[in-house]
Structure 1
Amino acid sequence: MAGKETSAPQDPAPNPHATAEQIEAAWRDPKLANVLYHDWEAGTYDEKWSISYDERCITYATDRFRAVAGEESWPYPRAMELGSGTGFFLLNLMQGGVIKQGSVTDLSPGMVQVALRNAENLGLDVDGRVADAERIPYDDDTFDLVIGHAVLHHIPDVPAAFREVLRVLKPGGRFVFAGEPTKIGDSYARRLGQLTWWLTTNVTKLGPLRSWRRPQSELDESSRAAALEAVVDLHTFDPSDLERVARDAGGTDVRAVTEELSAALFGWPVRTFEAAVPQEKLGLRWKLFAYRAWQRLSWLDERVLSKAVPRNLFYNVLITGKKAA
């Protein structure tokens, strides 16, 4: 039966301070875990991941889109971001001229709230809904483009989500998902992150470096939230398997590419270090160093390593395809 976009009841309010009982229940319910974890992170998510809505991230987003989907049909009249978080991918693609009108959807009310606030601050034409990716609350044939960034690995039933994406796309419409972890890439990234966290939080216990240690209450809260990552991060992907899932759901012209090998080996320790120390200790020089080093390594990955290294060794997989016209 065709899906129906109805006048749904008011979206639930964000819950950034989950109780111990809710967290215990979340260990048995991946969707609840995603809501609690991302509501907790919504207010600081952009800062944590160095997300901005300026030329730096506009270029990053449009380059990711172009790498897998090319530049046909820009701008797309209406697009939806699935699992939008704070709106990073959609809002920067809109500023980059890829999309004219957008809709943000996320299972987390806190993330939808922040994404809409970001869109308003940027003066962009965006609406939003709290939505389950396995039951998208929009009519058939609604969107010219459906996008997502780092969302598929949070969805319990990825094949169902792809079927829903294709349902709400117009005939000939395109989907683009980026920022998904490969099986091998996730393995080395997690190990690097865990080692960096352990080293940083222990070294900053030493007397001369104590000013570089975040308050214990903040570290404890970060550890508690990080523990939920074992529940919210449900999948890693082999590029060929992900292509097969999209085709089985009815996608055509399906294509996956991968990126970030040396950039990921550098980036994950850097991001973990930044999360473990007080933000005021890291000034503009640090941010410029980290960003420029990542840029150079990304160039190395794209221009050199991608021609010599199997695609499943890279950290990120991006996938695109279309709904049959």
Structure 2
Amino acid sequence: MTASAHDDPAPHPHATAEEVEAALKDTKLAQVLYHDWEAETYDEKWSISYDERCIDYARGRFDAVAGDQPLPYERALELGCGTGFFLLNLMQGGVAKTGSVTDLSPGMVKVALRNAEGLGLSVDGRVADAETIPYEDDTFDLVVGHAVLHHIPDVEQSLREVLRVLKPGGRFVFAGEPTTIGNFYARWLGRATWEVTTRVTKLPFLADWRRPQAELDESSRAAALEAVVDLHTFDPGDLEKIAKSAGAEQVHAATEEFAAALLGWPVRTFEAAVPPEKLGWGWGRFAFTGWKTLSWVDEKVLRHVVPRGFFYNVMITGVKPGN
């Protein structure tokens, strides 16, 4: 079911240069413009799917910090849902029965609800600010989010809101947040890959590997907004302190992706810089198999010797007191 009773704003997928300029000084406007811009192509850009591959990925992130919980939760909320990747795949993986999605971007809510409908999942949605969640106290058994906390100006206030809408004893799980050290090397690798790829594909014999200049220019404008919407990076210990200060109990953070991130960021950037038809099944298999293999190395070997702050992604969970 959709939130048709609510008067949510319509998506705005094509920002003008003037709007982009204004958004550089207004982070919440930037959030809306950037994510509305990305909504219809976001799943393709990030290789998001709603099949076994991403169901296993989402469930793996959940189990990494909140394993051994009785499942399924009755009702779950995804904060900053994007296209619904995390919640919809968790629901398919048996974590929750019904769900609600919220995002500051109308375009993302629209796509998330469309994806839920296509999967036959019971999900409603609202356009909403994560610092003022539009649901009553004690509504949800579980709140989840993926790559959302680093977009929120006041993370502690948002976590207070999360705890407010959770039932006593309810749990939150946030994954996919950038660590401070991980973000440094990931951004450096991304910029270097983009620069090399766009320069090399100017050579005449590689011209058919170059995206049209208009698409590259649009990507550059989107990247300018991305620099505005990515507000935070996190030290895992500091993120735990923020969650505890917000009022959560049983707080625990874990990190993942070190070697996998060193491959993943150049791969994703290269995919964004060249025409998609140039990258066939073989490339996709290489990218996924390489990431999976290096993730195994991270989990089985490197996490025992590399400090957790050096890994790219941090996940955190906590519980609302009172049960």
TM-score (norm 1): 0.97
In structure 1, which of residues 219, 223, 226 is the aligned counterpart of residue 223 of structure 2? 226
Counterpart of 1:308? 305
Within a 5 Å distance, the mapping from 1:239-250 to structure 2 comes to 239-250=236-247
Equivalent position SS for 2:161: helix
Counterpart of 1:73? 70
Within a 5 Å distance, the mapping from 1:1-325 to structure 2 comes to 9-324=6-321, 325=323
Give the letter for the 1:115 counterpart.
Answer: A
Q: How many Å separate the matches in 2 of 1:24 and 1:314?
A: 34
Return 281-290 or 108-117, whichever deviates more: 281-290
Give the letter for the 1:13 counterpart.
Answer: A
Q: How many Å separate the matches in 2 of 1:309 and 1:218?
A: 39
Q: How many Å separate the matches in 2 of 1:124 and 1:171?
A: 26
Give the letter for the 2:54 counterpart.
Answer: C
Question: Number of residues paired by the alignment?
Answer: 320
Q: How many Å separate the matches in 1 of 2:193 and 2:17?
A: 28
Q: How many Å separate the matches in 2 of 1:294 and 1:145?
A: 29
Percent identity, please.
74
The runs of 4+ residues in structure 1 deviating greater than 3 Å are 6-9
Return 259-268 or 12-21, whichever deviates more: 12-21
Q: How many Å separate the matches in 2 of 1:91 and 1:286?
A: 27
TM-score (norm 2): 0.98
Q: How many Å separate the matches in 1 of 2:311 and 2:119?
A: 33
Q: How big is each residue's C-alpha offset from its partner over 1:18-48, in whole Å with a ceiling of 9 and x where there is no partner?
A: 1222111111110100000000000000000
Q: How big is each residue's C-alpha offset from its partner over 1:74-105, in whole Å with a ceiling of 9 and x where there is no partner?
A: 10100000000000000000111111101010
Counterpart of 1:3? none
CA RMSD of aligned residues (A): 1.1
Q: How many Å separate the matches in 2 of 1:56 and 1:78?
A: 24
Q: How many Å separate the matches in 2 of 1:47 and 1:172?
A: 37
Equivalent position SS for 1:153: helix
Give the letter for the 1:135 counterpart.
Answer: T
Q: How many Å separate the matches in 2 of 1:8 and 1:166?
A: 26
Shift in Å, 1:114: 0.2
Q: How many Å separate the matches in 2 of 1:300 and 1:321?
A: 27
Give the letter for the 2:99 counterpart.
Answer: G
Give the letter for the 1:205 counterpart.
Answer: K
Equivalent position SS for 1:17: coil
Shift in Å, 1:7: 10
